[in-house]
Structure 1
Amino acid sequence: MSLDVPRLGVPVDVWLSAPSGFAEVVEVVDGTFVIKKVGGNPHHYLAISLVLEFERQWGAVATAPGHWGIEMAADGSVVRGRIPDVLVDGDALRSVDVFVGVPAAAVEVWSPSNTLREMNEKRAEYRLAGLPVLLEAFLSDSGDVNLDWMVNRGSHWATTGTGQGDALFTVPATDGGHPAFRVVPNTLLRR
């Protein structure tokens, strides 16, 4: 016999007002606060540049960073809440403090401080939540911007585009899916 125990979360206003240190954000995992380090200025600049590209190319609304309530409790509290570096969807991003539902895309700008475990946890959470597109970005040791475009195939992420440096990165539109996306990765840092 199993008991249907309700999941307990963190009230949205408590999450949004949770104190964090310098270069940190507070996410919610299984109803508990988790402190995450964030990158420095190139990291933030890259995220903002990707916001502008998504808005220009997709006609979508994007925010950097974005509070995403991936799993909500019955009382409206947050059981699992992440803060992707970029969240892409529609007009709701302009008016809600925490986006609930499935966004059109998300971006993670990975930093050297991100562990493989953390990266894989977020990838799995985003995939299970139904996120259709995840764009991963990072800076190589040489300072080049690297991009990996991943599409949710249900049981796994499929990388459908990879680009770096000064070569044109192009992802075609998909039927019933996402619009095309094109950018020279290094121009995202305005080189």
Structure 2
Amino acid sequence: MSAALQEETRARQEEATLPDPLIGPHTIQEWLDLPSPEDGSSVELIFGHFHVTPPPSGEHQLAVTRLIRPMEDSISAAGRTDLYAVIGVGVKISSTLRNGFIPDVVIMDRPPTGASFPAEALRLAVEVWSPGNTRNEREAKMAAYAVAGVPFLWTISRKGDHPGLELTAHRLHGDQYAVDNTVRSAGPTTITAAPIPVTLDLADLVF
């Protein structure tokens, strides 16, 4: 059986499973079938509920874009031809728990062909939190990534009212994330909570 057919069969089996009563009514397939919002906002599926995020700010997009270069440089330096750093792809986190996310950046272990990808393809997910991301939403997404078995998760946020950023790199232990690296200051830093060590400077992500 081909990998694509195995994934389709597994997804159908998961969709047939009765969800927890606290999980919302919407499915992964419904999420995938949604048209792209015309205003540039994004829609994610979090435990069966649609969550609409306004169009990202320029500062947010700059940080996301500038993350790609150090990732690609680190992948190249490690001689890895099986890893791909990609911005804003749809990921089918869990059909059973009805989670479909659009991480800001991912490192995948397969070529980024197609419109959406299984959680198994992710070696690292990066979420750049915006003020509109509530604490409950952040915690729910982190829990879902952990249950899906994504081995590394980075979260990036503003340091209160300061212009700088804070990056927290998590490594999966069992079914929970543990903090592996926390970066709060400018200067080259090597983050080891990743499929390959990534050296970056937080100062490059802001203007």
TM-score range, shorter chain: 0.7 to 0.9
The residue that corresponds to 1:110 in the other structure is 129
The residue that corresponds to 1:6 in the other structure is 16
Alpha-carbon distance in 2 for matches of 1:79, 1:5:
8
The within-5 A match list for 1:30-179 is 30-59=47-76, 60-72=83-95, 79-93=98-112, 95-102=113-120, 103-140=122-159, 141-172=161-192, 178-179=195-196
Alpha-carbon distance in 2 for matches of 1:62, 1:144:
24
Structure 2 gaps of 5+ residues are: 1-13, 18-25, 77-82
Cα deviation, 1:140-191, whole Å, max 9, x if unaligned, reads: 3221121111101123211111112313322237xxx7211211111123x5
Alpha-carbon distance in 2 for matches of 1:5, 1:18:
21
Contact 1:133–1:151, Cα closer than 8 Å, also in 2: yes
1:184–1:10: structure 2 CA closer, same or farther, 3 Å change rule?
Answer: closer
Contact 1:10–1:32, Cα closer than 8 Å, also in 2: no
Contact 1:161–1:170, Cα closer than 8 Å, also in 2: no
Aligned residues: 178
Identity %: 22
Structure 2 residue matching 1:111: 3-state secondary structure: coil
Structure 1 residue matching 2:111: 3-state secondary structure: helix
Contact 1:145–1:185, Cα closer than 8 Å, also in 2: yes
Contact 2:64–2:104, Cα closer than 8 Å, also in 1: yes
1:142–1:31: structure 2 CA closer, same or farther, 3 Å change rule?
Answer: closer
TM-score by length of 2: 0.74
1:166–1:67: structure 2 CA closer, same or farther, 3 Å change rule?
Answer: same
Structure 1 gaps of 5+ residues are: none
Alpha-carbon distance in 2 for matches of 1:157, 1:29:
18
Alpha-carbon distance in 2 for matches of 1:168, 1:137:
16
Runs (4 or more) in structure 1 with deviation over 6 Å come to none
Alpha-carbon distance in 1 for matches of 2:15, 2:199:
46
Alpha-carbon distance in 2 for matches of 1:88, 1:38:
23
1:158–1:10: structure 2 CA closer, same or farther, 3 Å change rule?
Answer: closer
The answer to whether the aligner puts 1:20 opposite 2:20 as a matched pair is: no
TM-score by length of 1: 0.80
Instruction: Note the C-alpha offset of 1:109.
Output: 0.2
Q: Provide the alpha-carbon RMSD of the alignment.
A: 2.7
Contact 1:18–1:26, Cα closer than 8 Å, also in 2: no
1 or 2, which has the higher helix percentage?
2
Comparing 126-135 with 147-156, greater Cα deviation is found at 147-156
